[in-house]
Every structure is written in C-alpha cells, then in structure tokens.
Amino acid sequence: MSSILIQGGTVVNADRAYRADVLTQDGKIVAVGENLPAPAGATVVDAGGQYVMPGGIDPHTHMQLPFMGTVTMDDFFTGTAAGLAGGNTTIIDFVIPSPQQPLMEAYNTWRGWAEKAAGDYSFHMAITWWDETVKRDMGTLVQQEGVNSFKHFMAYKNAIMCDDETLVNSFKRCMELGAMPTVHAENGELVYLLQKQVAEMGIMGPEGHPLSRPPMVEGEAANRAIAIADVLNVPIYVVHVSCIEAAEAIARARARGQRVYGEVLAGHLVIDDSVYRHPDFATAAAHVMSPPFRPKGHQEFLWRGLQSGNLHTTATDHCTFCAAQKAAGKDDFAKIPNGTGGVEERLAVIWDEGVNTGRLTPSEFVAITSANTAKLFNIYPQKGSVSVGADADLVVWDPAGTKTLSAKTQHSKGDFNIFEGRTVKGIPSHTISQGELVFVQGDLRAVQGKGRYIKRAPFSSNFAATKLRAETLASSPVLR
C-alpha cells in the first residue's frame, strides 16, 4: 500500500483549523503535524495555500434505486465515482424493501449491487411494512450487519409509506436496539389528496408538483414523527428538511431538550420553486423531487438552522433520472420519477454559498459536510476527522479554484445538473480515499469495486436502558 505526505496545507477539522502536514500509510492517517519528513517512496502532495479536510460524507443517496417504475441512472460505481470527483469519500445509501419483502433479502440484494462501488458506503434500512419478522430482522441488522439507522417514509402512499402503527413499532424497536430512526417527513395522505385536487383543477404539468406538497405537509409529518419519538424517548433524525415549518418543529423540540437532528440537501439551500414554472417540461421535470424546492425565503432559514446548530448535516438525496425517464410524467406530474443529483457538487456549492459568503467558517463547513454525519451515525473519528488512526479519506481543497458546474462535465450518468451554470469558487484539487489518490486536479482515478462496506455499531446500551417516557412522566409530576 502507498504512503502520501500532504505538505504545507491547513488542516480543518470540525473543532479547529491549523497549519499541519498529514501523512498517510496503508489507508490510515499516521501523523498530523508541522514539517513532517517524507518517508522513502511516499507520494508528496503540495497543499500550499489549500485546506486539508476530512472527505465528505453524504448521508443520503440512492444509487441504482428501483423507484416509480424505473431505476436511477447512477449505479454504485458511477455514483460513488462522481462523489470522489467532488471530494465526497463515503455515502450512506438506503436499502428499501418492497412491502412484505424480507428485510434480509433486500439487504443482501443491495449489498450485491454495492460491490462495484469505488468509494466507501454504508446503508440505512428502510422499514416499509411491519410484522414480527421485521422486528427480528432489525435486530439481526444491528447486531450482525452494522446497520444502526432505520428510515421511515411518511410519504409515497400505496408504495413504501409507513402508517403510524409502523412508525410506533419501529421507533420502539430502534430504542431497544440503540439505533437511530430517520424519517422522510411528508404526510402521504395529504399528498395523495392534493395530487388529485390539483389534477381536478386541470394542472397536470410539473408546476403541479409543489402545489401538491406545500410546506405544511412536511411540517405536520415532522411534528408527528418528533412527537412519537418524544413519547418513546428515542432520538430522531429528519432527512431533507426543506422548509421553515419542519425546521421550526426541530428547533422547538430541541429547545425542550429532545434529541432531534436535521439534514439539509445542498439543492434546498440554493434552489427555489421557480424552477417548476420553467416553460420547458424537461427542465421543470428534472427538478421534481420530494420535498420540492421551496419558495424564496425558506432557503435562508435553512442556512440559519445550520449556523445555529439546529440543523446538523448536509446531503444530496442523489437519485438521478434522465429526461426519458422523467417523461413518464409528461401528462401527469404525479408520475414524474422523483429525484435529483448532486453527490459531486455538494461540497463546492456549500463552500461557495456558505463559506465564501461568511455564513460558515471552514470548521463549520467540515462539521456539516462530514463530521456531524460521522458522529450521528457512529463512525466518528474513523470517518469525519483528520486525526491519527482515522481512515485516510481526505480532500485537499483549493479555495481559489473555480469551476462552472454543468451536466456537460459532471461524472454522474444523469443528463441534468440542478446546479447548471453555477460558477463556484473553492473546489477539490485532490481526493484521497483509503490512502490512495483517486482524484487529482480534474483527473478521476476511481476504481470499480475498491469501495468498502462500512459497518456502524449501535449507540451505547444506555439507549436500551432508557425508561419509556411514560415511566419518566409518571414519576415526575412537573412533566405530567
């Protein structure tokens, strides 16, 4: 295995930034300090004037996802390779069983698909139905397979939507196992009704999509999931928080001392709902994802949530469909496959809109693009930290480099880029994955199958020891 000495850079971790060299050996970081000598045979990377940060961790991707009658354009190789080109070195993807499908069967299928990954990967398991075998398999996944998070879609009625009974049973099981429940918080019943009402008004184009999923549809589900977690005394992670209503629900719960965490997509931070009124169907349809991009104003609230620590991670929900696939909804917006890309662009977009504008410090950037995800899903400091003993997953970041983002130059197999034409300042010059240079100044050297499955241990047993909230309330008159 090779050794790399990254010389002359400024190391940026979530807690501080300081001048230091970084030495890697056999896939691990073995030294961080000033004026490190270069071992014989080591590759030396000149990081002068650049930052050396933990590789990005994207906690929300869907590579090779079968969804709405088709399969996403990016598979686990092309999707993870695109991430490496953007400084992202780990993804947490989703195993999504069909209702009634045994969890372990779905898990083994996804594990097979992911063997071609070029970068490291892990899986959240979606709970799309419930019976005692689901409860059993959740235990197997936590105790034997290194899954410590379970996803619940509160939207997508008649497909993968969870009812409250499933949410309650699964959240309780998560608490027993020391696992993190996560939710896609949209009220699927309201979406289903509003889709029909919008269609009855004769609105069948992509402009109907946001009309069928207004912010309160997300706010209601976020509040409901947070309340269920509160009663069951289990933490909860809300994915793709897109609007003020959901962000406020999280902030309110956190102010009351509840462990609630929020994720924000790079797209929701910089794109608004005007995209759905674009005259070209393909352009408007390319932006159809759920929750939808929101009216101006919501974006700044999400930035402030990240600044204040009420929102914690950023992701992409990378789920790419091409124009021909999106055309399935040519005559009915409800049939447009939901999903957009971004795994390659996330870090540059957030650096440009976050750090260059003064919203975020470089350390806060590292926190929300890598370290917080590693902590919340229990793989810190193996991931998310430039420190001795951590995996040698690093990005050398050139704050002066510029790039115009475009589908023409992206590595994703998708044919659209929601950040099309955006010129960013601050881009990766080198990406290192498992101690190997996989991206060097525009040259992508991703290797199919090189990625590893990353196990994530359950949280400490005090989760399971935690009393049910009802017991706590009963013994505390003040809280009744």
Residues that bind ligand URQ in the complex, under the rule CB under 6 A: 62, 67, 184, 289-290, 317, 319, 338-339
Binding-residue pattern over the window 366 to 395 for Zn ion, x denoting contact by CB under 5 A = ------------------------------
Contact window for Zn ion (CB under 5 A) among 127-135, 317-325, 379-387, 451-459: 317-325
Using CB under 5 A as the binding rule, whether residue 213 contacts Zn ion is answered as no
Using CB under 5 A as the binding rule, whether residue 317 contacts Zn ion is answered as yes
**How near is the Cβ of 220 to Zn ion at its closest, in Å?**
16
Choose between 13 and 290: whose C-beta lies nearer to ligand URQ. 290
Choose between 289 and 367: whose C-beta lies nearer to ligand URQ. 289
Choose between 417 and 434: whose C-beta lies nearer to ligand URQ. 417
Q: Which does 5 bind (CB under 5 to 8 A by kind): Zn ion, ligand URQ, none?
A: none
Choose between 176 and 273: whose C-beta lies nearer to Zn ion. 273
Contact window for Zn ion (CB under 5 A) among 18-26, 28-36, 37-45, 311-319: 311-319
Binding-residue pattern over the window 182 to 211 for Zn ion, x denoting contact by CB under 5 A = --x---------------------------
Using CB under 5 A as the binding rule, whether residue 218 contacts Zn ion is answered as no
Question: How far is C-alpha 181 from the chain's CA centre?
Answer: 14
How many whole angstroms separate alpha carbon 162 and alpha carbon 170?
10
How many whole angstroms separate alpha carbon 123 and alpha carbon 229?
22
Q: Which does 339 bind (CB under 5 to 8 A by kind): ligand URQ, Zn ion, none?
A: ligand URQ
Choose between 62 and 450: whose C-beta lies nearer to Zn ion. 62
Other beta carbons less than 10 A from residue 363's beta carbon: 15
How many whole angstroms separate alpha carbon 476 and alpha carbon 355?
45
How many whole angstroms separate alpha carbon 19 and alpha carbon 6?
12
Question: How far is C-alpha 132 from the chain's CA centre?
Answer: 29
**How near is the Cβ of 29 to ligand URQ at its closest, in Å?**
33
Q: Which does 289 bind (CB under 5 to 8 A by kind): ligand URQ, Zn ion, none?
A: ligand URQ
Query: Which residue is closest to Zn ion by CB?
Result: 184
Which stretches within 410-454 are classed as H helix?
A: none
**How near is the Cβ of 344 to ligand URQ at its closest, in Å?**
17
Structure token digits, residue 441: 């100044």
**How near is the Cβ of 355 to Zn ion at its closest, in Å?**
26
Residue 417 and residue 380 in contact, taking contact as beta carbons nearer than 8 Å: no
At 440, which amino acid appears? V
Residue 278 and residue 209 in contact, taking contact as beta carbons nearer than 8 Å: no
Q: What are phi and psi of 475, to 5 degrees?
A: -90, 5
At 451, which amino acid appears? G
Residue 238 and residue 185 in contact, taking contact as beta carbons nearer than 8 Å: yes
Choose between 4 and 103: whose C-beta lies nearer to ligand URQ. 103
For 199-222, give one letter per residue: b (16+ CB within 10 A) or e: eeeeebbbbbbbbbbbbebbbbbb
**How near is the Cβ of 180 to ligand URQ at its closest, in Å?**
16
At 208, which amino acid appears? G
**How near is the Cβ of 155 to ligand URQ at its closest, in Å?**
7
Q: What are phi and psi of 53, to 5 degrees?
A: -125, 160
SS3 (DSSP) at 79: helix
How many whole angstroms separate alpha carbon 242 and alpha carbon 273?
11
**How near is the Cβ of 404 to ligand URQ at its closest, in Å?**
26
The verdict on whether omega for the bond into residue 235 sits within 30 degrees of 0, i.e. cis, is no
**Long-range residue pairs from 249-256, CB within 8 A, at least 24 positions apart, any chain:** 249/219, 249/222, 249/223, 250/222, 250/226, 250/305, 250/310, 250/311, 251/305, 251/308, 251/310, 253/226, 254/310
Contact window for Zn ion (CB under 5 A) among 230-238, 292-300, 310-318, 388-396: 310-318
Contact window for Zn ion (CB under 5 A) among 45-53, 100-108, 316-324, 425-433: 316-324
Cα torsion through 201, 206, 208, 213, rounded to 10: 160
Query: Which residue is closest to ligand URQ by CB?
Result: 338
Choose between 191 and 438: whose C-beta lies nearer to ligand URQ. 191
Residue 353 and residue 270 in contact, taking contact as beta carbons nearer than 8 Å: yes
- Chain positions 83 to 142 lying near Zn ion, rule: CB under 5 A, are none
The crossing angle, in degrees rounded to 10, of helices 215-232 and 164-177 is 50
**How near is the Cβ of 338 to ligand URQ at its closest, in Å?**
3
**How near is the Cβ of 403 to Zn ion at its closest, in Å?**
26
- Chain positions 165 to 184 lying near Zn ion, rule: CB under 5 A, are 184
**How near is the Cβ of 463 to ligand URQ at its closest, in Å?**
26
How many whole angstroms separate alpha carbon 104 and alpha carbon 112?
12
**How near is the Cβ of 363 to Zn ion at its closest, in Å?**
28
Total of chain residues touching Zn ion, rule CB under 5 A: 2
Which residues make up the interface to Zn ion (CB under 5 A)?
A: 184, 317
